[in-house]
Chains A and B, each alone.
Chain A
């Protein structure tokens, strides 16, 4: 430390370090210095790894400037490599750092810690400071508030203030105004008790129900219930009214139109009958009173053609329990003659196995399709026709 290493010492150190003899070490040092001088004399800089850079300079008193190599600087400053530049706070002064330098010159970081008592670490100090204002107001309870409260506020953190306040006002307020304070104090526990009871009830109610269900019930359950209800309603409507089929096969409109036509026909027939009824008594009333019962048979005779016309076009309705075969058995006595009904209602029925209930079909007379002379041939023809119809839809 702070020694001067002379040439013999340097030779010895180099010989030991490089594992060479002293003569070789001395010869190396001489060659090093001579070569460096020669190069510098030629105004050329030298960069030697591990040592630094030598170059000439006209600035300053020394003509040679040496820049240590970064490796050399790092090796030399290795004991201080753990330290880093630290930004100082405003309260730290050089006087605070000075005492720490004397005992340990190599430990600059612990210096700020013991000194900044008031500026940097107020958390440990305020606790005794809180106790002092509490004890002082007790002997003189009449004038404590203006003196005790402002004192801790500027220096102490806001945290200790609420701790000191509840104790001081109780002791101070007793001599000055007992009743309001006591009322407040007395009322306060009741309110708090009520609040506590309410809170307990509420918490008890809340404890009964799990929190996840509480959050789940009002939102998801309602949504799920609505969705399930909609799906169920849609399913019921689909299987009963079959709106999809209605959209593709608008049969109901045809039925309605047929029904409307039939109603119009019946209404027209009834109108004609009513006209006849109304006209005939008026005409006959002038002539003979005895002929009054005459209109009745006329009406009957006029009304008779209507059932005859109704017999020509018989209508029936297909239900869930009444199919084409059922209607055929009902009107023709044989189920196999359902093809007659089908052929006469091809404008309403397409697939004979998918006739919707409620379809009003026209029942043709048997003679319209049963053209064969014998019943067996008609049955055979009807079966062949049925096979032909089914072939279309299978």
Chain B
């Protein structure tokens, strides 16, 4: 399901205009980005947690050429589904 379909279905579920649904969805994505950038965890009951992890700078070695690269720090965002979502997905 692409973003447009998801937005339209979300607008139908909320009984709002698709444009407003898109704006709210965009605001929701911005909140997730801001909080995960601060390494916060967003916990949504019944759905899951948006977590972020900072990886410090590291040295990556190419085994073939022997070249070593100093990689800069990086923050990765991950999603850990909740138990209820797992059950729902697994149809339990």
Check B73–A106 contact: CB distance below 8 A.
yes
Q: Does A374 contact B (CB under 8 A)?
A: no
Note all chain A residues with C-beta closer than 8 A to B71. Answer: 85
Q: Does B38 contact A (CB under 8 A)?
A: yes
Check A86–B24 contact: CB distance below 8 A.
no
Contact of A41 among B28, B43, B91 (CB under 8 A): B91
Shortest Cβ gap from A128 to chain B (Å): 30
Check B2–A83 contact: CB distance below 8 A.
no
**Docked complex Cα distance between A106 and B90 (Å):** 42
Note all chain B residues with C-beta closer than 8 A to A45. Answer: 1
Check B81–A64 contact: CB distance below 8 A.
yes
Given A83-B72, A88-B59, answer yes or no on A35-B40 (Cβ-Cβ < 8 Å).
Answer: no
1/0 contact string of B8-42 vs chain A (CB within 8 Å): 01100110000000011111111111111111111
Shortest Cβ gap from B37 to chain A (Å): 5
Given A5-B43, A37-B88, A108-B73, answer yes or no on A47-B3 (Cβ-Cβ < 8 Å).
Answer: yes
Task: Tell me the A36-95 residues at the B interface (CB within 8 Å).
Answer: 36-37, 39-41, 44-52, 54, 56, 62-64, 66, 68-69, 71-73, 75-80, 83-88, 92, 94
**Docked complex Cα distance between A83 and B47 (Å):** 35
Given A7-B43, A94-B59, A108-B57, answer yes or no on A72-B29 (Cβ-Cβ < 8 Å).
Answer: yes
**Docked complex Cα distance between A239 and B37 (Å):** 99
Contact of B6 among A39, A69, A87 (CB under 8 A): A39
Bin the interface of chain A by size.
35 or more
Chain A residue nearest to B37 (CB atoms) is A76
Shortest Cβ gap from B74 to chain A (Å): 6
Chain A residue nearest to B29 (CB atoms) is A50
1/0 contact string of B69-86 vs chain A (CB within 8 Å): 111111111111100011
Contact of B36 among A39, A47, A76, A105 (CB under 8 A): A76
Given A2-B40, A29-B28, A87-B68, answer yes or no on A39-B73 (Cβ-Cβ < 8 Å).
Answer: no
Stretch with Cβ within 8 A of B (4 or more), from A14-22, A169-177, A207-215, A259-267: A14-22
Contact of B31 among A13, A63, A73 (CB under 8 A): A13
Given contacts A41-B88, A49-B26, 18 further A-B contacts (CB under 8 A): A4-B41, A5-B43, A14-B24, A14-B31, A28-B24, A28-B28, A32-B25, A37-B89, A48-B25, A50-B33, A63-B89, A76-B36, A85-B70, A85-B71, A87-B70, A88-B70, A97-B59, A108-B70
Q: State the A residues within 8 Å of B (CB).
A: 1-7, 10, 13-14, 17-18, 20, 24-25, 27-29, 31-37, 39-41, 44-52, 54, 56, 62-64, 66, 68-69, 71-73, 75-80, 83-88, 92, 94, 97, 101, 105-106, 108, 112
A-B pairs with beta carbons under 8 Å apart, 12 shown: A5-B35, A6-B43, A7-B45, A10-B31, A18-B28, A36-B47, A50-B29, A68-B77, A71-B29, A72-B36, A85-B60, A87-B70
Q: State the B residues within 8 Å of A (CB).
A: 1-3, 6, 9-10, 13-14, 23-48, 52, 56-57, 59-60, 67-81, 85-86, 88-91
